[in-house]
Amino acid sequence: MDSISENVKKAIESVIKIENFTTYPSVTITSGSLNGDGLTSKTVAVNLKNDQKSVDVFIKYFPENATSNQINLFKDIYETETRFYEKVYPVMVKFQKERKLRDGFDNVARYYPCNNVDFNGIAPIALSNLRAVGYGMRDLKEEANQELLVKVLETYAKLHATFLAMKDQQPEVYKSISSELVDDVAEKFNDVGFYDVIKVLMKGLIDYLDPKVDKIAIEKLTEFLNNLETFVSDIPKLITNDYSIITHADGWSNNMMFLYNESKRLIDVKILDWQVYKISFPGLEATHVFYNALARKKALDNVEIYTDAYYNKLKEQVEKLGSDVNKLYPKEVFLAHWKQFAKYGMMLAIVTNRVAFMSKDDIVDLVDNKDGKMPIFSVDFKEKDRYFKLLKDLVDHFVQNDLF
């Protein structure tokens, strides 16, 4: 462990204590995510093993030699994720357990608290290593099939149902874990240069479209591009208390891991990276997840399958938890939110699909940029035709369904 960050060493020692090894384990450290899998973190995978047991841990950490600007940008992100695992998720588990819910939301990795440790700069986050027990990430270039899309949306429906029921039945408890949340996504987008990235990619898409055949799409995209910052900054003002709850707020494919059985059937989904969880509408998050790098042409032509799958699971879970979904989040409100905020998912899909078509060697994690800015992605690359064809399908869907 000599060449490993001091913060990582301290996190490993914390895990060893929590796991209560009877004899000190051997420690094997390998690389964690590849570049681009975790844009705001460095990672290592750690195996701890003695004669009695073997434990696999995944540690996210921030470089100790980071600049003050980087620390200022990312410190609150780490603290937010830590707060979710230490404060929010245990309350969710308790709420579900009290209602004897057997199939509740448990779709996160195990968290190892590194309390009472004096870290340098930003404290790392230690989680169970899901890869070690068979979970994997999907190929972002390939279309997500119906089974996967439905499973992911139902997973988010379980998350949302828990918070809807908790807010209904235990408002003070819910308030204790939600009152300090602030939606500063517009500020964060500006800090990391997201607007510059999306503008370059949207202009590239507009140039790709046919001025005659795609005239309406070009007009709609141009209008959206010209009002991009206003659209994003106005969203928090539209989130009323009536139907809003805690949401994950970062639902793209790189923040999910999937477990299949021997028959290649998808049996579980884990949601990763709770760094920006916030108050929002369930329907906004559902559109975010559906459009943001998951949905392709076949799914776009059959949206009702997925809105029904999501809402049916939401209704089922809310009722199992003892509340009335028609009172807390009527289907007509859900569908209205889907239509109102679908552009947010489309906007993010333009960026995340571009990431999907990048070579891993070309991706720079934000923590490697001294200013913490996202790289400006080129619109001239090997698979640009495939990328822009996907986006054209997405934009056509928005035009045809009056979602702009």
The tens-digit pLDDT sequence of the chain (404 residues) is: 556 788 899 999 999 999 999 999 999 999 865 444 445 568 899 999 999 999 999 999 887 666 777 777 778 888 999 999 999 999 999 999 999 999 999 999 999 998 767 777 788 999 999 999 999 999 888 888 999 999 999 999 999 999 999 999 999 999 999 998 988 888 888 877 889 999 999 999 999 999 999 999 999 999 999 999 999 999 999 999 999 999 999 998 889 999 999 999 999 999 999 999 999 999 999 999 999 866 788 899 999 999 999 999 999 999 999 999 999 999 999 999 999 999 999 999 999 898 888 765 555 554 455 555 666 777 888 889 999 999 999 999 999 999 99
- Cα torsion for 156, 162, 165, 171, to the nearest 10°? -120
For residue 276, the tally of other CB atoms under 10 A from its CB is: 20
Long-range contacts for 204-209 (Cβ within 8 Å, ≥24 apart)? 204/379, 204/388, 205/350, 205/388, 205/391, 205/392, 205/395, 207/379, 208/388, 208/391, 208/392, 209/392, 209/395
Best CA proximity match to 234, nearest among 195, 276, 185: 185
Show the tokens assigned to 169. 């039945």
* Dist. CA 320–CA 345, nearest whole Å: 29
Rg, C-alpha atoms of the chain:
21
Give the count of alpha carbons within 13 A of 224, CB side only.
Answer: 26
pTM, entire model: 0.93
Give Cα separations from 124 to 33, 49, 270, 347 (angstroms). 15, 21, 20, 31
Distance between CA atoms of residues 374 and 191, nearest Å? 9
